[in-house]
Amino acid sequence: MFQNVHNVRKKQNHAMIRAEMEKQHAGQSFLLNPYVKNSIIIICMIADMATLYSIFELQMTEQQILTIIITIVIAGALNIAPVLLALCLNDKEDRSGLKKMQMAAFMGVFLILFVSTAILRWTSREELFASEAGIVISGMQNSGGGSSGAPGTGLQDMEPQNIELSNINLKPQDSSIRGVTMAQNACALILLLEPLATSAVCFGLSYEKDPDRKRRQLLRLQNVRLRQQRDEYQVQIAELEQELAECNLEEYDREQYDTMRQQIELYRQYFKIHARRRLAEKDGTANAATLLLEESKLVQAIGGMKL
């Protein structure tokens, strides 16, 4: 019975918490859901990693793993710094010098990293499409008498080891190459602004116009949970108090003892009658039949056991 009451109470409490949470989430944008918010921040970091990796791969001469680690760290810093800055701004009560220094540090880290990556991106824009525009096959270029290929030899006739790749300088007078340079500039600009956009998104998601409202909601939610726990304790206390008031353990134990004692007394009678009956049978007296009847009654009383 107690278990049922307990379960019903538990279900009621869960329903109450769910209703309270739904009520609180009803007026909020789904973007304020912490799971959605964190997922968007992670997606922004991944997008920044992909963008920045292309520059670092081009510019850095370290091992690839180091390049990947640097990319992850910088992409993380570019997105975490605005989030931390927004959290500092949310705390409107604390405007101490330390807080201001923290905010300045986050801002500084973000600006340094963003400006540096932007410069890198802008300066390396010419190499952005190098793999498509700047590669020629030397065997074809020097088909008239180069050092690597025999004179008059076509590409299909050359040995693979004799084929060389070399870059050629882009000539501004070439109209097709001029078109690629425009694309480079546009692309560089987009990729340059991409970390800024993702950082702005992260900042926007973390910054709250009214942090007090959130604080109140958190307190209400916490109170609902605390009340649920309190009610559970209340049920347990009621159960125990009832147990202490109603259950007399000594009396219960006495009943058990008396039952066992009665059973032993029944066995005592049964053993005596059984022994007498056996002896009477041996004697051949008429009393044996009476004793047999009495014995069978006792057998039933002690639970059907028969010697």
Partner 1 sequence: MGEKLNKLFKRTLKPIGLPRDCKELDCGSMLWHAASNVGIRPVTYQFPRRIYEFSKSLDEEIDTFLTSVDCDRYNENYFDPVINITCNLGITDIDRQAQAHKRACLGIREIQNVELGRLRLKKQELEEQIMKNEQEEAYVPERT
Query: Of 91 and 243, which has the nearer Cβ to partner 1?
Result: 243
Task: Supply the minimum distance, in Å, between the C-beta of residue 250 and partner 1.
Answer: 6
Query: Of 125 and 274, which has the nearer Cβ to partner 1?
Result: 274
Task: Supply the minimum distance, in Å, between the C-beta of residue 208 and partner 1.
Answer: 11
Task: Supply the minimum distance, in Å, between the C-beta of residue 269 and partner 1.
Answer: 9
Please give the structure tokens belonging to residue 302: 């002690």
Q: 3-class DSSP state for residue 304?
A: coil
Contact 72, 229 (CB under 8 A): no
Query: Of 58 and 221, which has the nearer Cβ to partner 1?
Result: 221
Exposed (0-12), middle (13-18) or buried (19+): which is 98, by Cβ within 10 Å?
A: exposed
- Give the DSSP letter string of 22-37: HHHHHTS-GGGSHHHH
Of residues 62, 101, 67, the one with CA closest to residue 84: 101
> How many Cβ atoms sit within 10 Å of the Cβ of residue 89?
16
Q: What is the CA radius of gyration of the chain?
A: 45
Strand partners, 219: none
Residue entry with tokens 């546009």: 186
Task: Supply the minimum distance, in Å, between the C-beta of residue 16 and partner 1.
Answer: 14
**Helix, strand, coil tally for the chain in percent (to 5):** 80, 0, 20
Q: 3-class DSSP state for residue 209?
A: coil
Q: Could you list the residues that contact partner 1 (CB under 8 A)?
A: 2, 210, 212-213, 215-216, 219-220, 222-223, 226-227, 229-230, 233-234, 236-237, 239-241, 243-244, 249-250, 252-253, 256-257, 259-261, 263-265, 267-268, 271-272, 274-276, 278-280, 282-283, 305, 307
Task: Supply the minimum distance, in Å, between the C-beta of residue 270 and partner 1.
Answer: 8
Query: Of 178 and 268, which has the nearer Cβ to partner 1?
Result: 268
Task: Supply the minimum distance, in Å, between the C-beta of residue 213 and partner 1.
Answer: 7
> How many Cβ atoms sit within 10 Å of the Cβ of residue 36?
13
Query: Of 11 and 220, which has the nearer Cβ to partner 1?
Result: 220
Query: Of 157 and 253, which has the nearer Cβ to partner 1?
Result: 253
Query: Of 165 and 305, which has the nearer Cβ to partner 1?
Result: 305
How far apart CA 2 and CA 6 sit, in angstroms, is 6
Query: Of 126 and 294, which has the nearer Cβ to partner 1?
Result: 294
Cα-based distances in Å from 278 to 283, 293, 306: 9, 13, 13
Task: Supply the minimum distance, in Å, between the C-beta of residue 12 and partner 1.
Answer: 17
Residue entry with tokens 């049922």: 4
Task: Supply the minimum distance, in Å, between the C-beta of residue 258 and partner 1.
Answer: 10
Cα-based distances in Å from 130 to 49, 136, 144, 168: 22, 11, 26, 10
